[in-house]
Structure 1
Amino acid sequence: MRILSGILVIYIISTVLFGHLNYVAQGRAHYHKRRNLKNPPPPPSPLVATANPPQVPSDPYPNPNPNPDPAPGNSDSCIFDVTSFGAVGDGSCDDTEAFRAAWKAACAVESGVVLAPEGGVFKINSTIFSGPCKPGLVLQLDGVLMPPDGPEEWSEKDSNSQWLVFYRLDCFTFSGKGTVEGNGQKWWDLPCKPHRGPDGTTSSGPCISPTMIRFFMSKNVEVKGLRIQNSPQFHMKFDGCEGVLINDIQISSPKLSPNTDGIHFGNTRSVGIYNSLVSNGDDCISIGTGCSDIDIQGVTCGPSHGISIGSLGVHNSQACVSNITVRNTVIRDSDNGLRIKTWQGGTGSVSNLLFENIQMENVLNCIIVDQYYCLSKDCRNETSAVRVYDVEYRNIKGTYDVRSPPIHFACSDTVACTNITMSEVELLPEEGELVDDPFCWNAYGTQETLTIPPIDCLLEGSPVVEASFDSNYGC
């Protein structure tokens, strides 16, 4: 009887414990609705719940007990090692066909893994890795992956505007402890590129350089753990995507490398960027038209051109950007901090932005809205503009480069910037005397706390013409 009683007790305890563990495991796969930007709760939530929510993880913090990466020797896993398909990995031989064959095999099975193993230096030409594929496809890069070295080695039959393209994928992960090396130096040295030396000049003619990594028309994709460096142009670009998680990556290129944006988004929504470092020669993160529901946290930018929304509205086009959150981020030694830039003559809107808990370190233009963005001297005044409204700057602190005022709101003559909120903004000079004359033009908003430097030029209330605009101005 005692033995039966003991067995019964053990059974009950095991049932309760298993049920608890199962509940905890299921609890990590939940999805959050977007935070209220006016009163955001403390826990971060990267992605937006939609009618068809993205299937990428919603938890920006790593699992303390993650599953180990698959090993080549595990015969039970669907591992497709590129060396088994003929890749040499000596940094000289062309391994393109081996990667394409491994991709084709992995694409055809569920949870397939294309493995570029540690110790290999794999050189491949411009390639489109396309789907649709079976769910759970992984490109595991533990070695080094790189393109041909400069324009002269680039094949004439390949596109010189992009290198790695991931097209029409769903539930795909690009991860590993390896490096994507862009070999960008010879592209940066083209005579048509901008040079910043005292005698630097540029020459006319085509100046196309490849984006290193491009995701196109894909959803539920994740990029994690990689080092991405020295891109000829943009390091990573997302076009027409939904459900993107970027976590624990490093992007780097020299400070003066031209047009080397870190991460660029166009027509993409439901994005989380976390725990990453970007140091490059252009925008750290740039957000183009058609983007919404982007959450950025734990990112360090610099040197760079800061975090930019735009440019928007070029050639009188419509631009729509909404629901962007940037929190707990450091921007250092950069030409800009938090920037919104639009061309005159555009339409549409930029709305519902929250910049919170940002540390600035020696930044030239810490907070800037420029609705007169132009790359030449012949841009003319236009009556229409991309409308900017509902923008919050909260707890923005640090130091600025005194060559320019740290706060600059240059809004359209006819379409004012409205509902700008400033709270706990404290910016002091890195060196020299305090620049106490922030610039405002047709900008309306409120100061919830005293701003340093004082921003008395911000207008109260709303412009009279405001009521004539639709709330989204066409978006």
Structure 2
Amino acid sequence: MEALLSARGFLPLIILFCVISSLRDGNAARLMGKGLSDQKLDNSSSDKSTPTFNVQSYGAVGDGVTDDTEAFQSAWKAACEVESASAVLEVPQGYSFMIQSLMFSGPCKCGLTFQVDGVLLAPDGPKSWNKQNSENQWLIFYKLQDFTLQGQGIIEGNGEKWWELPCKPHRGPNGTTLKGPCLSPTAIRFFDSSGITLRGLTIRNSPQFHLRFDGCKSVLIDNIVINSPALSPNTDGIHVSGTQFVGIYNSLISNGDDCISIVSGGANVDIQNVTCAHSHGISIGGLGNHDSQACVTNISVSDVVLRNSDNGLRIKTWQGGHGSVSGVSFDNVYVDNVRNPIIIDQYYCFTKGCHNKTNAVFVSNVDYSNIRGTYDVRSPAMHFACSDSIPCTNITLADIHLVPAEGQMMASPFCWNAYGATQTLIVPPLTCLLEGQPQSIIQGSSDACSY
């Protein structure tokens, strides 16, 4: 498999993704142990007895130019009110529907399926955006239960003109950022919902985050593709905030920011068989910004590939925050030309003007096993920069084999106030971890995180 990954380009990544997918099955079943309800994995829209609401029956044109927002709103209302059986809202193949920012609000009477087999188009840039609806969200799903968003279609965010705003990173002279309005919309946002399933879709070119969950519970994401250019700013693939019991499986994400980001309130998140390309890696954080509390627990990442990325497996926190990150495991991960394959950074900061602070988010019980591949020696393969006052504890590593890309000289790992142990011989040698436990940790550093 390493020989397969050594070739450059996107095609080897897709081939690898397909090979891994063929070797695994039943990933969704693992969610059962984490409290998710059983959910069907059949991607068909409905049988003949299921009430189906085709958006074209409500006036949608689907020519890619006409504003079809009102038709979608009417079709949603009708499907949401069905009482006798689960309904299907149908977006047919072969058509492109341009819609403005729109909230699909519940609760609906029964479980509802949104079947997208055509193309959904966002307005083309800020000048085409209807600010009367929402300036920073496009497709909004609110207060839904047992809801499925699926299909073979494309959700196109038309983000190019948003990325070129002067306030975006590196758009000003000499790589600076200019001041100005910069409320770029997230493509798809779920909040205050439960029993959510997404599968089969392609989501691309979001102005900002592609897929975001806030205050949700029981989420299954399976077999989706997220795609935007490497230099598209702030285009996180999947963002999890205040959301518990999440499964992310069998998906391919290539974007310009975090492949998957988990922030405060994220708990019981299982990530398997995901491939990330030219991203900022799988990130827990940033946490604790503006001296806030941040709590993240029980995160499992396994059978993942990361290629040509700035970061691999990252935990990032701001100084001055409080709370905790605990119960994190990374297992069976392949990295190909990744700048920071393994990194804990408790000095995360956007500028050079951040000051040392006493408080910090407490990071403990983080396990790394079977992490292999190549890294860019501009940074060490392993980087553990923990708070001066609140050390990282119980970091364990086993079966780590990371070598420089293209035969460069191996860089030594970096540790600062990090406690842990290596359970096997690892490459490169890691001798800077402190043994045992620190003599004291500020009481209350975890600040009673509860989930």
Q: Normalising by the residue count of structure 1, what TM-score does the alignment of the two structures yield?
A: 0.86
> What is the aligned partner in structure 2 of residue 321 from structure 1?
296
Instruction: Report SS of the residue matched to 2:302.
Output: strand
| One-letter identity of the residue aligned with 2:433 | L
1:179-204 Cα deviation digits (max 9, x unpaired): 00000000001111112798344321
| One-letter identity of the residue aligned with 1:415 | I
Instruction: Report SS of the residue matched to 2:407.
Output: coil
1:222-265 Cα deviation digits (max 9, x unpaired): 00000000000000000000000000000000000000000001
Q: Distance in 1 between matches of 2:435 and 2:447?
A: 21
Instruction: Report SS of the residue matched to 1:174.
Output: strand
5 Å-filtered alignment, 1:5-20, equals none
1:120 matches 2:95: yes
| One-letter identity of the residue aligned with 1:69 | S
1:47 matches 2:46: no
Instruction: Report SS of the residue matched to 2:406.
Output: coil
Greater Rg by CA: 1
2:406 corresponds to which of 391, 410, 431: 431
Which runs of structure 1 show a deviation greater than 6 angstroms over 4 or more consecutive aligned residues? Answer: none
Count of matched residue pairs: 422
1:54-85 Cα deviation digits (max 9, x unpaired): 3353x9xx5xxx473337xx4x3200000000
1:469 matches 2:443: yes
1:217 corresponds to which of 155, 172, 192: 192
> What is the aligned partner in structure 2 of residue 171 from structure 1?
146
**Structure 1 contact 46–273 (Cα < 8 Å) conserved:** no
1:89 matches 2:62: yes
Q: Distance in 1 between matches of 2:389 and 2:174?
A: 40
> Is the alpha carbon distance of 1:67 and 1:121 closer, same or farther for their aligned partners in structure 2, counting shifts above 3 Å?
closer
Shift of 1:408: 0.2
Shift of 1:442: 0.3
Q: Distance in 2 between matches of 1:418 and 1:111?
A: 49
Q: Distance in 1 between matches of 2:314 and 2:44?
A: 40
Shift of 1:435: 2.1
Q: Distance in 1 between matches of 2:447 and 2:33?
A: 25
| One-letter identity of the residue aligned with 2:31 | L
CA RMSD in angstroms, aligned pairs only: 1.8
Q: Distance in 1 between matches of 2:238 and 2:385?
A: 26
Shift of 1:157: 1.3
5 Å-filtered alignment, 1:125-164, equals 125-164=100-139
> Is the alpha carbon distance of 1:196 and 1:157 closer, same or farther for their aligned partners in structure 2, counting shifts above 3 Å?
closer
Q: Distance in 1 between matches of 2:74 and 2:244?
A: 32
1:68 matches 2:50: no
1:249 matches 2:216: no
Q: Distance in 2 between matches of 1:48 and 1:310?
A: 26
Q: Distance in 2 between matches of 1:309 and 1:454?
A: 25
> Is the alpha carbon distance of 1:198 and 1:315 closer, same or farther for their aligned partners in structure 2, counting shifts above 3 Å?
closer
Q: Distance in 2 between matches of 1:206 and 1:251?
A: 26
> What is the aligned partner in structure 2 of residue 36 from structure 1?
none
> Is the alpha carbon distance of 1:67 and 1:438 closer, same or farther for their aligned partners in structure 2, counting shifts above 3 Å?
closer
> Is the alpha carbon distance of 1:89 and 1:133 closer, same or farther for their aligned partners in structure 2, counting shifts above 3 Å?
same
> What is the aligned partner in structure 2 of residue 6 from structure 1?
none
Shift of 1:421: 0.4
Unaligned runs of 5+ in 1: 1-41
Shift of 1:379: 1.1
Shift of 1:100: 0.7
Q: Distance in 2 between matches of 1:146 and 1:46?
A: 34
> What is the aligned partner in structure 2 of residue 229 from structure 1?
204
**Structure 1 contact 361–399 (Cα < 8 Å) conserved:** yes
Q: Distance in 1 between matches of 2:97 and 2:164?
A: 24
**Structure 2 contact 361–446 (Cα < 8 Å) conserved:** no
> Is the alpha carbon distance of 1:48 and 1:380 closer, same or farther for their aligned partners in structure 2, counting shifts above 3 Å?
farther
Moved more, 241-250 or 423-432: 423-432
5 Å-filtered alignment, 1:228-307, equals 228-307=203-282
Moved more, 199-208 or 413-422: 199-208
> What is the aligned partner in structure 1 of residue 7 from structure 2?
none
Q: Distance in 2 between matches of 1:90 and 1:43?
A: 39
Instruction: Report SS of the residue matched to 2:127.
Output: helix
| One-letter identity of the residue aligned with 1:288 | V
1:132-188 Cα deviation digits (max 9, x unpaired): 002220100000001110001111312110000000000000000000000000000
5 Å-filtered alignment, 1:359-374, equals 359-374=334-349
Q: Distance in 2 between matches of 1:307 and 1:440?
A: 20
Instruction: Report SS of the residue matched to 2:440.
Output: helix
Q: Distance in 1 between matches of 2:125 and 2:290?
A: 32
| One-letter identity of the residue aligned with 1:175 | Q
Instruction: Report SS of the residue matched to 1:458.
Output: coil
Unaligned runs of 5+ in 2: 1-24
Q: Normalising by the residue count of structure 2, what TM-score does the alignment of the two structures yield?
A: 0.90
Q: Distance in 1 between matches of 2:106 and 2:299?
A: 29
1:76-120 Cα deviation digits (max 9, x unpaired): 320000000000000000101111111111111131111000001
Shift of 1:43: 7.6
> What is the aligned partner in structure 1 of residue 328 from structure 2?
353
Instruction: Report SS of the residue matched to 1:431.
Output: helix
Shift of 1:48: 6.1
Instruction: Report SS of the residue matched to 1:83.
Output: helix
Shift of 1:472: 4.2
Q: Distance in 1 between matches of 2:103 and 2:132?
A: 13
> Is the alpha carbon distance of 1:92 and 1:411 closer, same or farther for their aligned partners in structure 2, counting shifts above 3 Å?
same
> Is the alpha carbon distance of 1:471 and 1:153 closer, same or farther for their aligned partners in structure 2, counting shifts above 3 Å?
closer
> What is the aligned partner in structure 2 of residue 99 from structure 1?
72
Q: Distance in 1 between matches of 2:212 and 2:415?
A: 33
